[in-house]
Amino acid sequence: MLSADQDRGIGPGQVAIGLILVAMLFISVNDMIIKLLSEDFPLHQMVFIRSAIGLCMALAFVRMEGGFHLLRTRRPGLHLLRASLIVFANMTFFAALAVMPLGTATALFFIAPLCITLLSIPVLGETVGPRRLGAVLVGFLGVVVMMRPWADAGEGIGWAAALPLLAALGYAGMQVLTRKLGAGSSAAAMSVYIHLAFLSVGAGFFLVAGDGRFADGVSNESLVFLLRAWVWPESEEIWLFVMIGVLGGCIGYALSQSYRLGDPATIAPFEYAALPMAIFWGWMVFGEVPEAHVWAGIVLIAVAGLYVFWRERKLGRR
């Protein structure tokens, strides 16, 4: 007998696409809030509070999915690697938000879905044809257009571009590992492991640099954001910390579940929905309007991703 979802024609792939779109919306709001708080609070404080709230939500999801026995795993090493990759990706991307427009940082980060398509070949044994590989190259060309390495000093993005690009590589590796681990681990359990990793990193930064002594004399805004002293938020700012914690809990679950249920090369292009969202928040909250070369790069990256998705669907129908 068919289930209700099957009767309506809703399969795992459609559920995965819906989850990734929800995750992108929550990520765009989360990034906007973190950029908003980056002038007054240290990154490690945000990471710690966000993950403490997110961990409580993830444990509740584990309970709903079947119980705490789901936290046991036969692959602790891969889970540790996966959690380390997403911690690295988040920390480098958030550090970029302190020195770059939200839309620009997000657009550069969006080589991640293209990297997922490439990594799915050696890690998951998937077949990616020459047309999709060509689309990936077009996407990387968009990154080059945005970075403008030929521009005079001070006119290009500069060294800060390395931060979202490194974040993209870490994120791509994490998502491919999610697919590899998904057959034997629940989405909620994988989310718990990630929040525990963030808590550990946030606590470690607090113990070593929580008094801000390493930020003294530092002029680089990203490093100051990473190393400044812990500051207790005012009453009107506490709700922002609560919000990023709730968003973090939902994001971790939605991303893990999406890549467990769907094929990475098919799901990844839908992450581009976060691009217009980031540009909107950058304009609405910070008054940021991308320059012409940034728009050109965004178009190249988005077209490449959409072509990969279209190609996947065409091959699937065959």
Each of the 318 residues of the chain gets a pLDDT tens digit; together they read: 444 444 455 677 788 889 999 999 999 999 999 999 998 999 999 999 999 998 998 898 888 878 888 788 777 787 788 889 989 999 999 999 988 899 989 988 888 877 877 887 877 777 777 888 888 899 889 888 887 766 655 555 567 778 998 999 898 888 777 766 655 667 777 788 888 999 999 999 999 988 888 888 888 888 889 889 998 888 788 999 999 999 988 887 888 788 778 876 677 778 788 889 999 999 999 999 988 888 998 899 888 877 876 776 676 644
Report the alpha-carbon angle 95-100-103, nearest 5. Answer: 110
Predicted pLDDT of residue 183: 55
Residue 6 lies in a domain: no
Predicted pLDDT of residue 108: 87
Residue 59 lies in a domain: yes
Predicted pLDDT of residue 243: 94
Residue 2 lies in a domain: no
| The pair of three-digit structure tokens given for residue 296, joined into one six-digit string | 């050109």
Predicted pLDDT of residue 77: 81
Residue 223 lies in a domain: yes
| The pair of three-digit structure tokens given for residue 151, joined into one six-digit string | 């521009």
261 and 253 Cβ atoms separated by less than 8 Å? no
Residue type, 278: A
How many distinct structural domains can be found in the chain?
1
Residue 250 lies in a domain: yes
Task: Report CA torsion sign: 294, 296, 299, 304.
Answer: negative
Predicted pLDDT of residue 318: 40
Residue 1 lies in a domain: no
Residue 272 lies in a domain: yes
Domain range for 22 is: 12-317
DSSP 232: P
Predicted pLDDT of residue 4: 47
Predicted pLDDT of residue 147: 77
Strands (E), the chain: none
- Residue 265's alpha-carbon distances to 24, 62, 128, in angstroms, are 17, 27, 9
Q: How far is C-alpha 209 from the geometric centre of its chain's CA atoms?
A: 25
